Amino acid sequence: MSKTIIISNRLPVQLQISDGGLSAIPSVGGLATGMKSVHSGDDSLWIGWSGLTDEDIPNILEPQIDHALRELNCSKVRLNKSDIEGYYFGFSNRTIWPLFHYFLEYSEFELDFWESYKAVNQKFADAIIEAADEDDIIWVHDYQLLLVPEMVKAKRPNATIGFFLHIPFPSYEIFRTLPWREHILRGLLGADLIGFHTYDYERHFLSSVRRLLGLDVSFNDIYLEDRVIKVDSFPMGIDYHKFSEAAKKSIALQGKHRSDLQKKLDEHKRSAPGTKLIVSIDRLDYSKGIAKRINAFEYFLNKYPEYKEKVRLIILAVPSRSNVPQYQLLKREIDELVGRINGELSTVNWTPIWYFYRSLPFENLIDLYTSSDIAWLTPLRDGMNLVAKEYIATRTDKTGVLILSEMAGSANEMNEALLINPNNFEEQADTLKQAITMPKEEQMARNMFLQKRLQRYNVEVWANEFMNSLKSQRKAVGTFVSEKMTGTILDWITTKYNSSKNRLLFLDYDGTLTGFHKDPQKASPDKELYEILDALHHQENTTVFLISGRDKTTFSKWFLDRKYNMIVEHGVWISTKGEDFKMLEKVKGDWMEKIRPVLESFVDRTPGSFIEEKNYSLAWHYRNTDPDFGQKRATELNTVLRSLIGNDDISVLNGNKVMEVKSSNVNKGRASVRMLSQADYDFVFAIGDDWTDEFMFEELPDSTITVKVGLQKTQAKYHVEGPKKVRELLKQFIQS
């Protein structure tokens, strides 16, 4: 039976050694609490860090630790102190975390951190490779392990790998500042499916992939060599049932059975009836906006002094990453703020802020949720924020008000909450007042919608949707495009090649025989290519045509003295055996005067684009433009041209980062079929990467061996990855 392997930095439990004995506490944070509900049964294995370093673990305890973890279907990755320093406290939490949360000024770009991050990611990848069977599904989590998918894919090309990022993916403008940005993207692209909490994070990621790696992206599919990688958003849910049941249980407990914290909260309610409790729960993290929230609370009390002694703010800040300097500074700042405000505003009957800096047991968390009239969550940036969802789930009588920052991923799905901008104190003060005075009916009406949604799209549904999408992605890859040119197929083609008596080969040039270049003139043939083409050209019983959209001047310069057969401008001109180019099709060029100014206006408005003028066609190239902008302009130009052309004599071809306007009666399909009709061929072969090559694939007879370069939808029978593979294939023909 296949199993699911979950990989994250932290395991769901953190091990501790005290007095020589072993104990386990639950991990905090959205990832661990969410995935814990998904990880169950023997068909799931969770690989991660135990919370202890090699130095912490005495040899004698090692078997006990492994045994305890095995009981939980977990397995540990061994990390030493220096790994944790460089990879966890360093690159993960001093580089990626601040950068991805838009705290650019906190982000440190240290080579040592990066080296350690790579090495530790490799340790995780090795642990997966060792544990995974052929048909297992591998699900990698979060920003600590961005390189793992590629590392696993390198050793296990057939493995099914999903990746989910639990934090925001920043806009391209932020991401591009990272010195190792391409490595990070390539690391992620080892996965078959990459998931984010929101569409915005997904769109930011796709934009970086396009701009930094120059890969083709179509909707949410990324084309990388012979793979298609799917990117999608899956907003993470919570274990709704667990939270609502725990709330019911906590409310039902009577007298002495109630927790100490609950007793204190009850006492507060009894002694100050009519007062409101506002709660906020976060890890102590600068992204959570805790200091701003405290300042905003002071602002509120000054703006609406009538609420002094009527409201109390409970802050639960869970210790987090306390070795990182920014977290230490924040801790000091919050201590001071709370001290100052309580010092200034407290009365004998009232302390405005109750501040807890500790990790509380789950039951106490529930006590806080159920006893508070308002939850006030103000992250400056947050991937999701599950606390907001948990608060709503515990409101079994449907009362309670949630005030939530727009900057949290969860705000996208929680429209009925009071959404605020955490930087706007005026708005926050007014919203607090609105929350305090909100009628019960309104609270219940809002929460009813929220609860319904959270109940339906819970963490289980979230995980299932991700898994189903991952599985169907793997299936789709096989059927989506043409068949991959495997060694067996190539052998079969070569045998056919050898036994044939008269062969005809059509070879596209750009993107097929050679890669793309920023300046098309610089994509000239190299020595190896000349050798291959010479050898093919001189083979007995073999007619080779270079068939291209290029102009005849360039091809004459590169190939005429070698006497290759050439068809250029998509079929307007032909040259055979070193003769000058002749017209293959009768075409008109009078339309060009009208279209040229239109293209020129697009060049003026699209930096990096340019016009290539051929004898009977005009091409607008946009390979060197900003990818998003260029694509947008291409769509615009397409609309403009189609409305201008309006007759059948001229057509627009959408090539690879080029749009070409040309006579309709010219295309590579028509040209290749004409060549085919001139002799009796028993082996016909056509290869190309572009949209314009599809005409050949479509129009040449069925018996033709058609090959697409790259993994895009095609009419060709087979596909190969790129020019390197094309050359290998042609060399097989030569050697035979």
Least distance in angstroms from the C-beta of 459 to ligand ADP: 10
Residue 289 binds ligand G6P, judged by CB under 6 A: no
Cβ contact 132:162 at 8 Å: no
* Site pattern 135..154 for ligand G6P (x: CB under 6 A): -------x------------
Least distance in angstroms from the C-beta of 321 to ligand G6P: 5
Least distance in angstroms from the C-beta of 144 to ligand G6P: 6
538 phi and psi, to 5 degrees?
-90, 0
Q: Pick from 567, 617, 549: which is nearest to 588 by CA?
A: 617
Q: Which two tokens stand for residue 163?
A: 């990746």
Between residues 165 and 546, which has the closer beta carbon with respect to ligand G6P? 165
Whole-number Å distance between alpha carbons of 64 and 72: 13
* Site pattern 26..45 for ligand G6P (x: CB under 6 A): ---xxxx-------------
| Binders of ligand ADP in range 6-65 (CB under 6 A) | 28-30, 33
Which segment (24-32, 202-210, 650-658, 725-733) binds ligand G6P by CB under 6 A?
24-32
Strand 137-141 to strand 160-164: parallel, antiparallel, or no bridges (unpaired)?
A: parallel
Between residues 390 and 551, which has the closer beta carbon with respect to ligand ADP? 390
Burial of 85 (0-12, 13-18, 19+ CB in 10 A): middle
Whole-number Å distance between alpha carbons of 312 and 289: 18
> Which position among 239, 508, 551, 693 bears the catalytic label?
508
Residue 386 binds ligand ADP, judged by CB under 6 A: yes
Cβ contact 140:163 at 8 Å: yes
Whole-number Å distance between alpha carbons of 244 and 396: 6
Q: Measured between alpha carbons, how far apart are the two ends of the chain, in Å? A: 45
Q: Say which residues have a Cβ less than 8 Å from residue 450's Cβ, sequence separation at least 6.
A: 392, 402, 414, 416, 417
Strand 582-583 to strand 610-613: parallel, antiparallel, or no bridges (unpaired)?
A: unpaired
Q: Give the residue closest to ligand G6P by C-beta.
A: 29
Between residues 459 and 729, which has the closer beta carbon with respect to ligand ADP? 459
Whole-number Å distance between alpha carbons of 46 and 65: 15
The entry of ligand G6P, ligand ADP, none near residue 734 (CB within 5 to 8 angstroms by kind) is none
Cβ contact 658:622 at 8 Å: yes
Between residues 369 and 591, which has the closer beta carbon with respect to ligand ADP? 369
Query: Largest alpha-carbon pair distance within the chain?
Result: 105
| Binders of ligand G6P in range 292-351 (CB under 6 A) | 320-321
Q: Pick from 164, 82, 31: which is nearest to 91 by CA?
A: 82
Whole-number Å distance between alpha carbons of 98 and 91: 10
Q: Give the residue closest to ligand ADP by C-beta.
A: 30
Residue 722 binds ligand ADP, judged by CB under 6 A: no
Q: Which of 11, 74, 137, 167 binds ligand G6P (CB under 6 A)?
A: 167
Between residues 302 and 328, which has the closer beta carbon with respect to ligand G6P? 328
The entry of ligand G6P, ligand ADP, none near residue 321 (CB within 5 to 8 angstroms by kind) is ligand G6P
Least distance in angstroms from the C-beta of 27 to ligand ADP: 8
Least distance in angstroms from the C-beta of 723 to ligand ADP: 45
Whole-number Å distance between alpha carbons of 290 and 320: 13
Q: Say which residues have a Cβ less than 8 Å from residue 568's Cβ, sequence separation at least 6.
A: 548, 549, 550, 551, 552, 555, 574, 575, 581
DSSP secondary structure code for residue 326 in this structure = H
The entry of ligand G6P, ligand ADP, none near residue 386 (CB within 5 to 8 angstroms by kind) is ligand ADP
Residue 166 binds ligand G6P, judged by CB under 6 A: yes
Residue 387 binds ligand ADP, judged by CB under 6 A: yes
Catalytic-residue membership of 508: yes
Residue 596 binds ligand G6P, judged by CB under 6 A: no
List interacting residues with ligand ADP (CB under 6 A).
Answer: 28-30, 33, 281, 283, 316, 318, 359-360, 362, 365, 384-387, 390
List interacting residues with ligand G6P (CB under 6 A).
Answer: 10, 29-32, 142, 166-167, 320-321
Q: Catalytic residues, which ones?
A: 508
